[in-house]
């Protein structure tokens, strides 16, 4: 860390380095496969300091050799869609106007297996998987949310029952009216049949009496 200070020995204001070690320790970073790895090398005193230059990020290999990955004013290194081969040790170095660096940080990166994200369908919508021609899909068990969405609400059930009762009552009323009309008409038909039968029987009796009288007269002659 470089700051302007006045040393009492010379009484002149100059830029002096802080009497501390440039090694700021190690950090462990864990990232899942196919996700972004971000290495942050900035410390809270960097913006307050003077005489700093660029951030340099190196990849440290097993034989202690290093490969420069980026250099600039940005204090972070971002690598998208990491893979298992990206696991290892990285080193960040913040340069200064002096010969020695102001900050050195080591990052030990561990790449974890790919994160499993389970997609949960919305309870109000039903989705069907697209099936290519010639493929056969097996019926999947319905979840509790699907069964709940398909079950009718109590209000709808009660309303349907009331409508059914009204329709049934209307049918019974029509049947009762039709029965009364039929019964009234059947009574008139029975009276008509009785009257016609009585008149027919009476005429037949008279005809039989006339025929008997004619037979008696023929016998007398």
**Burial class of residue 149 in the structure, from the number of CB atoms within 10 Å of its CB (0-12 exposed, 13-18 middle, 19+ buried):** middle
CA distance 18 to 163: 89
90-94, 163-167, 202-206: least confidently modelled range: 202-206
pLDDT score of 108? 96
Give the CA distances from residue 194 to residues 78, 185, 188, 207, in Å, rounded to whole numbers and listed in that order.
Answer: 112, 14, 10, 20
The pTM of this model reads 0.48
pLDDT score of 84? 95
Give the CA distances from residue 146 to residues 52, 54, 150, in Å, rounded to whole numbers and listed in that order.
Answer: 61, 57, 6
Helix (H) or strand (E) holding 103: strand 103-112
Give the CA distances from residue 129 to residues 126, 135, 145, in Å, rounded to whole numbers and listed in that order.
Answer: 10, 12, 18
Asked if residues 17 and 5 have their Cβ atoms less than 8 Å apart, the reply is no
CA distance 154 to 12: 89
pLDDT score of 40? 94
- pLDDT tens string 173-197: 888 888 878 777 766 656 666 666 6
- pLDDT tens string 54-87: 999 999 998 889 999 999 999 999 999 999 999 9
pLDDT score of 7? 45
Asked if residues 75 and 55 have their Cβ atoms less than 8 Å apart, the reply is yes
Strands 37-40, 76-79: pairing kind: antiparallel
| Residue 166: pLDDT band with limits 50, 70, 90 | confident
> What does the DSSP 8-state code read for residue 54?
E
CA distance 198 to 192: 10
């Amino acid at each position: 860390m470089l700051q302007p200070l006045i040393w009492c020995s010379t009484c002149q204001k100059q830029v002096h380095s802080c009497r501390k070690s440039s090694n700021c320790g190690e950090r462990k970073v864990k990232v899942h496969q196919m996700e972004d790895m971000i290495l942050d090398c900035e410390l809270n005193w960097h913006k307050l300091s003077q005489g700093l230059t660029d951030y340099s990020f190196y990849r440290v290999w097993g034989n202690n050799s290093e490969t420069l990955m980026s250099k600039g004013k940005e204090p972070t290194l971002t690598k998208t869609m990491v893979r298992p081969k990206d696991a290892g040790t990285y080193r960040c170095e913040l340069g200064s106007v002096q010969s020695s660096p102001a900050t050195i940080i080591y990052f030990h990166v561990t790449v974890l297996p790919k994160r499993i994200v389970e997609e949960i369908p919305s309870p109000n919508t039903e989705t069907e998987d697209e099936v290519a021609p010639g493929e056969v899909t097996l019926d999947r068990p319905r979840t509790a949310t699907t069964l709940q969405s398909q079950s009718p609400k109590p209000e709808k059930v009660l309303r349907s029952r009331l409508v059914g009762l009204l329709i049934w009552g209307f049918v019974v009323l029509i049947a009762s009216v039709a029965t009364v009309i039929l019964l009234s008409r059947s009574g008139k038909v029975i009276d008509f049949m009785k009257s016609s039968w009585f008149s027919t029987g009476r005429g037949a009796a008279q005809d039989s009496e006339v025929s008997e009288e004619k037979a008696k007269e023929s016998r007398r002659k």
